[in-house]
A and B are shown apart, each in its own frame.
Chain A
Amino acid sequence: QIRLVQSGPEVRKPGASVKVSCKASGYTFSSYGICWVRQAPGQGPEWMGWISTDSGDRKYAQKVQGRVTLTRETSTSTAFMELRSLRFDDTAVYYCARCPLYSGYINWGQGTLVTVSS
């Protein structure tokens, strides 16, 4: 059974950083990329980026490029998303997803609520 289990909710002040983890199980971690998607309250999903769990190559959305870093730790089958210089409008649920090439995202993490509040 494929599972993606994310770290718990976080509260940060503006200007701070947050790092969310996503631990995969039930499949060969290095065979599929991991994508990160966030969803602000009442809004549609927003794609943030992709990391190849094999090579470590990454692609980022321009909107967050420069503030986000995706990494992975193959020994523990875990992917990470770090977002820096947090702003109020970064408040959202952050999801990781297993993203096969040229297919939809069939496996998602449960989501991590990140709240940016002063």
Chain B
Amino acid sequence: EIVLTQSPGTLSLSPGDRATLSCRASQTVTSDYLAWYQQKPGQPPRLLIYNAAYRATGIPDRFSGSGSGTHFTLTITRLEPEDFAVYYCHQYGNSPPETFGQGTKVEIK
């Protein structure tokens, strides 16, 4: 089973700041099949990025994904008020099981 470790656990930033979130895998993620999600309280996760670097339909271009193998990054170039939430990475290349990270909370400083 691939373990995904996200860092930092919490990121305290201000609107307009740049956010850089990390996701490290315990083994190589096959074909870079890694996604990023945003989740707000009481809602299901919202897909932002799939296959490490491709924005899902309707996702603003301030969200970008990069990385390969065992290290992946989600970057939000200029934080908007609605971007303060919890973010999860998810690998679906090595299944079963697919696995999720434990999350990074982006909070207002």
- In chain B between 84 and 106, which residues have their CB closer than 8 angstroms to a CB of chain A? 88, 90, 92-93, 95-103
Contacts of A27 in B (CB 8 A): none
Q: Looking at chain A, what size class is its interface with the partner chain?
A: 20 to 34
1/0 per residue, CB under 8 A from B, across A76-118: the answer is: 0000000000000000000101010011111011110000000
- In chain A between 28 and 64, which residues have their CB closer than 8 angstroms to a CB of chain B? 35, 37, 43-47, 49-50, 59-63
Tell me whether B56 and A102 are in contact (CB under 8 A). no
B63–chain A nearest beta-carbon distance, Å: 13
A43 to B88 Cα, complex, angstroms: 11
Interface secondary structure of B, over-half rule:
loop
Nearest-CB residue, chain B, relative to A64: B97
Knowing A59-B95, A95-B44 are in contact, say whether A104-B100 is a contact too (CB < 8 A).
Answer: no
Tell me whether A104 and B44 are in contact (CB under 8 A). no
Tell me whether B92 and A104 are in contact (CB under 8 A). yes
B3–chain A nearest beta-carbon distance, Å: 12
Tell me whether A45 and B57 are in contact (CB under 8 A). no
Q: Does B31 contact A (CB under 8 A)?
A: yes
Q: Which of B37, B50, B92 has the most CB of A within 10 A?
A: B92
B33–chain A nearest beta-carbon distance, Å: 6
Knowing A95-B44, A104-B37, A106-B57 are in contact, say whether A44-B97 is a contact too (CB < 8 A).
Answer: no
B51–chain A nearest beta-carbon distance, Å: 7
Query: 23 A-B contacts, Cβ less than 8 Å apart?
Result: A35-B98, A37-B100, A43-B102, A44-B100, A44-B101, A47-B95, A47-B97, A47-B98, A50-B95, A50-B96, A59-B95, A63-B97, A102-B33, A102-B51, A102-B92, A103-B35, A103-B92, A104-B35, A104-B37, A104-B51, A105-B47, A106-B47, A108-B44
Taking A44-B100, A105-B90, A106-B47 as given, write out 15 further A-B residue pairs in contact, using a Cβ cutoff of 8 Å, ordered by the A residue number. A44-B102, A44-B103, A45-B45, A45-B100, A47-B96, A59-B95, A60-B96, A61-B97, A62-B1, A62-B97, A63-B97, A102-B33, A104-B37, A105-B37, A110-B44
Binding site for B on A (CB under 8 A): 35, 37, 43-47, 49-50, 59-63, 95, 97, 99, 102-106, 108-111
